[in-house]
Structure 1
Amino acid sequence: MQPGPRARGPPSPGSSMEPVAPAQSTRNAEIPPSLAEATGLLALDTIGEGVGMVEAGGRLAWANATLRGCSPSLREHVLRVSGQAIHIFNTQWGGVNGGSGGMPRGKKFTVQDGERFFEVICSPVDESAAERFGIDAPRADAEEAAGPVRRVVSMVWDATSGKRLQGRIDAIDASGRELARIDNEAVSKLRPAERLKLLQDKIIGYSKELMQFDHFTIRLLDKRTRALEVVIAEGLPREALEIDLYARPEGNGISGYVAATGRSYICHDVEKDPRYVLGLTHSKSSLTVPLNLFGEIVGVYNIESETAGSFDDEDRQFAEIFARYVALALNILDLLVVERHSTSTTLTRGVASELQQPLDAILAEAEALRAETVADGGHCLARIDEHVAKVRRVLHDLESGPNRVLGEADDARDASPQDDRFTGKRVLVADDEPNIRRVVKEVLTRRGCEVQCAKDGYEACMLLEQGGNELDLVISDIKMPYRNGYEIYAAAQRARDGLPVLLMTGFGYDPHHSVVRASQDGLAGVLFKPFKVDAFLEEVAGAVAPASA
């Protein structure tokens, strides 16, 4: 038998143990001593904690019913730590204080009995108070009588659930810290898609192994549209992921409510909860917590179960702790990409500025030579002029950042009129940057492609619905108004299963993690702006090759 649940918390181990005076209430004064003693013993036998009086040398002088019902091994643990407490009290009181001052404070121990954990608080008995109650001091040999503390009152209770709870919290905390610890140097060696895949694998792994969550989605909040975009999903059907949800308290399911209010939500029975919308095929209950980043709600973490009533406040607490680390990790990864973008742009502009003066000097020298050289030497100087002009064009393209296609001017001048790899291919190009749409269309049209363009995600999806089954390729930016890259990819697959899709992104920026999600489903490739024309054409050729084989 183990100590049962305690009716109220045990005394604090840091509280001073003052002598206990006889009860002074009117009611207790009317109780005969024998009855008062019996009442006290009954109270001690009734409480859920084990209570005992332990004398020096580890002798159990008295125990209540709970302690007597404990396993022999647990009682041995209690006697052992009680003896240790007596020794500590005598050392502290007699050695440090020289016997002066108040009684030493109670001492708390944790003991393990089999697979269970118990807390034990040992409080020293004031022998002068015991004498006032007519209780004789315990017999002790010379060694045991060396200190003023001869016995302790020990209280023991089962702390297994609290210990396990704290252990799980510590494990979640450690895993969360590992999740958020993104090594900039190591991560920078990976392609953007590989970085996102690495983070996703960690989140899925910890969710399953540590949290025991097998069916979940993580949605990030688009601040401009208030849409909740799926970035990571595990164990849920595609139709559940394609539902449009927004951060609004009504009409957008539990996820919309949590994102709008910042309050976690436990759905004990999906059939009885009007806020629940489609999720796991045989879902019975769900738990949804906000992704909280320094007080700002940036998304939601939704977990589903095939069993009704699967989640309680303890699960909610664990999920909220883990979700904070998920939000932090996703934010750090995005910051690294943005930092790379900013650094690359600053570096390019610095290089362009430094090269400007030498290029001007080369042209000035060429003009001087032109005046002095013979007529036949003019061809060499003309080539110098061409090279300088080409360098200026490249620098201009680089300074423009990701909204340029490198080498477009040379391609317009030198491109072959037709290319059998592209002739007759029907391509949809979706990008909210007019320059990208124009250049990509011109490059492909020069090689015999039939190109349609869409200025945003909504228009792209409409064109896919109307004639996507006749297309050979879709090229789309990852971040556009109204739809993200993954949504364009999903729309293309609905139009024709296996329709090749290339996604474009500036310096690897992918706020909705479209690359990872689409790559898992068969994405043809990724283009990182600014890209060169020849690299772009190779990606396009590879994407349409199976259709022409």
Structure 2
Amino acid sequence: MSSPGCHRPKSSDSTKPSGKVAGIGDQSARLTRRVTQRKRLEKQMARVRPKIVFLTPPGGGTEELRELLAEHCQVVYADSLGPRDSDADYLVIPADPGNLGQTGLGDHERDVLLNSVGEALCLVTSGGKLLWGNRMFDTIDDDIKQVVLTAAQEAAVSFQGLDYDPGAEPPIIRREFEMGDNKLYELRMAPMIVEGATEFGDRAVGVLRDISHTGVVRKKLKAVEQAGARLNRFDRDAVAKMNAAQRLRLLEERVTKASKDVLDYDHFTIRLIDDHTGRLEPVISVGFTQDAIDLELYPAEEGNGTIGYVAATGKPYICHDTTTDEKYLVGASEARSSLTVPLMVGEHIIGVLDIESKEVDAFDEQDVQYVAQFSRYVAMALQTLNMLVVERSSTGASITGRFEGEIKAPLDDILRETDICSESIKDPETAAHLAKIRADVEAIRKRLKNVAAGPNTLLGVDDLSTVKADELLKGKRALVADDNDRIGSMIADVLGRRGCRVTLCKNGQEAINELEASAADGHERFDFVISDISMPDRNGYEVFSVASQIVPEEAIILMTGFGYDPHHSIVRASQEGMRNVLYKPFQAARLIDEVHKALTPRGSA
């Protein structure tokens, strides 16, 4: 109530303090008024710079507002409203009616202004008597009016009990109340201060505003917040047992439900930035065409569509019409407008959420607010799922390491006892048994270290060390890609012992080069491919995409540590036919089983 408010004059009569009001039946005056209104309307429509009159002295908080408006509007100050200002498009008056006396306006001018304010004003005593109300107050429903009068009466009583300080800002009581369906009102009440007063009187000024739109926005944001909370409500143990495809499917189901139920959107896509390649990889797409999903996009302000622009700038973008916006590329089928917002974790952009509509200009700034809030919950959910998987890996290694430390002393005791026994025992058979005990102790230690290594090892390799060549694998050409030298070598060794001819690649690009070379004329193609999904240059999905053009899709196996799939390669490859996945650390026997499955045609016994 202490800052200026902007209100459009209701009619030409209400802005003409010196004009005569036509009486009922005075057709000449009525005709003159209509002509004047028409001319004014034509003049307003033709004006490029609307005129704004500040009915308040220059200075204070109005200077900054004037500077902001001056570029597009004609701004003038006036001590009072006169004929020269009758063509104003907007009036800016003090929001606190109690300050009107400082403007130098006459009684008639004050009445005109108070009736032009787009708010219901009233003056009420502590006894509940309505002393005055402006024109808008007279038009409100009786039920609403009674609520206002009761609240203003209570405010007037409470003001009387306060200490009066003429140099301090007057107290303000603010209330909100709902009436009917989706109607929300704000009531502000302040004491009426008489010049020279030494205490607050028994009168309160009430200002009523319809803030139903604010209420609708508030409810929508609350619904988005609740949907976001549900989106991030994970059962840690259940998620830890899920593979990458199951985790992403869970998230997709939740995002889809929230988008439809809360935001009323049916077509959206989520793309995440691949840390290694910099590409925006599609991880969830609902209602988008395959051409849109296949687009190779990067965070860039130009040449990468609205999605690349938002990923590069971190700024939301509204495409009002896909047929005229040069930034728009291709998205949902028959899309005519779109809204794209960044997915952020803190200050870091991890991707984008793109929503599209079949209607032109379907999104506005209010939608930006809703979707931006929702996107924060989506980013949080993606981050949480990945963190749970990483936590599972590190926790498993930590527990195994502690277990290894706990049994170290008993194992050392066993070895000491076998050494003591060996010194006094001459029987060869007993000595052989003691040697076997020592070998078993060392095997236990080795296996514990392998388990503690988590995704960085292959389990049960020793159990298969004496197995002879496998007839199904004998002579088969295999490509193994993993940037972890230890795992790659162990897999190559296991396969090589069974008769495979293995080509070992240390990164994704090297694997792709080998695959493309094998497809050239005169070269022998690979029979099956095993690739890690998280490599520093090209991810598992990219290797799968190239390999699937050279070998059958079922002959491709992807690997990941504890189900960790930062690029969602497993999900995307599964959608395109890949059916074999190994989650590190896995048993060497499981590797052989998966290779057998990859080389066995579907339907075969």
TM bucket normalised to smaller: 0.7 to 0.9
Counterpart of 2:490 in structure 1 is: 439
Give how far 1:532 is off.
0.7
Does the alignment pair 1:532 with 2:587? Answer: yes
Q: 1:10/1:530 Cα in 2 relative to 1: closer, same or farther (>3 Å)?
A: farther
Residue of structure 2 aligned with 1:265, choices 313, 317, 320: 317
Amino acid at match of 1:539: E
Residue number in structure 2 paired with 1:143: none
Is the 2:484–2:506 contact (alpha carbons within 8 Å) kept by the matching residues of 1?
A: yes
What is the match of residue 457 of structure 1?
A: 508
Q: Cα deviation per residue 1:12-32 (whole Å; 9 max; x = unaligned)?
A: 8xx8x86864753xxx5xxxx
Structure 2 CA distance for partners of 1:205 and 1:484, relative to 1, 3 Å: farther
Does 2:311 correspond to 1:244?
no
Question: Aligned in 2, Cα 1:199/1:60: closer, same or farther, shift over 3 Å?
Answer: same
Indicate the residue corresponding to 2:149 in structure 1: 82
* Partners of 1:180 and 1:226 in 2: CA distance: 26
1:78–1:154 contact (8 Å) kept in structure 2: no
Corresponding residue for residue 376 of structure 1: 429
Question: What does residue 401 of structure 1 align with?
Answer: 454
Secondary structure of the corresponding residue to residue 254 of structure 1? helix
For 2:291 and 2:102, the matched residues in 1 are separated by: 72
- Shift in alpha-carbon separation, 1:104–1:448, aligned structure 2, 3 A: closer
Instruction: Give matches, 1:4-15, under 5 Å.
Output: 7=8
Letter in 2 for 1:84: A
Superposition TM-score, scaled by structure 1 size: 0.79
For the 8 Å contact 1:485–1:514, the answer to whether it is kept is yes
What CA distance in whole angstroms lies between the structure 2 residues aligned with 1:229 and 1:22?
63
Match of 1:50 among 93, 111, 120: 120
Cα offset for 1:406?
Answer: 1.1
Aligned residue for 1:210, secondary structure, equals helix
* Pair 1:476-2:553 in alignment: no
Q: 1:290 aligns with which of 322, 325, 342?
A: 342
Secondary structure of residue in 2 paired with 1:226:
coil
Partner of 2:54: none
Aligned equivalents of 2:316, 2:171: Cα separation in 1: 45
2:181 aligns with: 114
Matched, 1:338 2:393: no
Query: Does 2:274 match 1:207?
Result: no
The alignment's TM-score, normalised by the length of structure 2, stands at 0.72
> Share of identical aligned residues, percent?
36
Query: How far apart in 1 are the matches of 2:557 and 2:93?
Result: 65
Judging changes above 3 Å, is the alpha-carbon distance between structure 1 residues 274 and 466 closer, same or farther for their aligned structure 2 residues? farther
Q: Does 1:505 align with 2:575?
A: no
2:177 partner letter: T
User: Given residue 477 of structure 1, which amino acid in structure 2 is its aligned partner?
Assistant: D
Q: Which residue of 2 aligns with 1:167?
A: 219
Does the 8 Å CA contact 1:82/1:122 hold for their aligned counterparts?
no
Tell me how many residue pairs correspond in the alignment.
507
Distance 1:82 1:38 in 2: 25
Residues in 1 aligned to 2:593 and 2:375: alpha-carbon distance in whole angstroms: 41
Contact 2:272/2:281, CA 8 A, preserved across alignment: yes
| Cα gap change, 1:497 to 1:526, in 2 (>3 Å) | closer
- 1:276 aligned partner, one-letter code: Y
Distance 1:377 1:121, change over 3 A: closer
Unpaired runs of 5+ in structure 1?
29-35, 132-146
Q: Per the alignment, do residues 341 and 457 of structure 1 end up closer, same or farther by CA in structure 2, a change over 3 Å counting?
A: same
1:382 Cα shift? Answer: 3.6
After TM superposition, list the pairs within 5 Å mapping 1:397-436 onto structure 2.
397-413=450-466, 415-420=467-472, 427-436=478-487
Unaligned stretches of 5+ residues in structure 2:
1-5, 9-90
**Pick from 358, 362, 382: which aligns with 1:310?**
362
Shift of 1:510: 1.8
What is the CA RMSD across the aligned residues, in angstroms? 3.8
Residues 417 and 290 (structure 1), Cα distance of their counterparts in 2 relative to 1, 3 Å cut:
same
| Maintained 8 Å contact 1:492/1:499 | no
Q: 1:515 aligns with which of 570, 582, 590?
A: 570
State the shift of 1:190 in Å: 4.4
Q: Is the 8 A contact 1:123 1:153 kept in 2?
A: yes
**SS of alignment partner, residue 290 of structure 1:** strand
What secondary structure is seen at the aligned counterpart in 2 of 1:292? strand
Give distance in 1, aligned partners of 2:411 and 2:195: 98
AA aligned to 2:151 is Q
Query: Alpha-carbon deviation of 1:289?
Result: 1.7
Pick closer, same or farther for the CA change 1:351–1:54 going to 2, 3 Å. Answer: closer
* CA separation of 1:483 and 1:208: change in aligned 2, threshold 3 A: farther
Letter aligned with residue 184 of structure 2: F
**Displacement of 1:322 after TM fit?**
1.9
Answering whether residue 279 of structure 2 is matched by residue 227 of structure 1, we say yes
**Which moved further from structure 2: 513-522 or 434-443?**
513-522
User: Is the Cα contact below 8 Å between 2:94 and 2:100 reproduced in 1?
Assistant: no
Q: Contact 1:93/1:100 (CA < 8 Å) preserved in 2?
A: no
Q: Look up the equivalent residue of 1:476 and give its one-letter code.
A: S
Residue 547 of structure 1 aligns to a residue whose secondary structure is coil
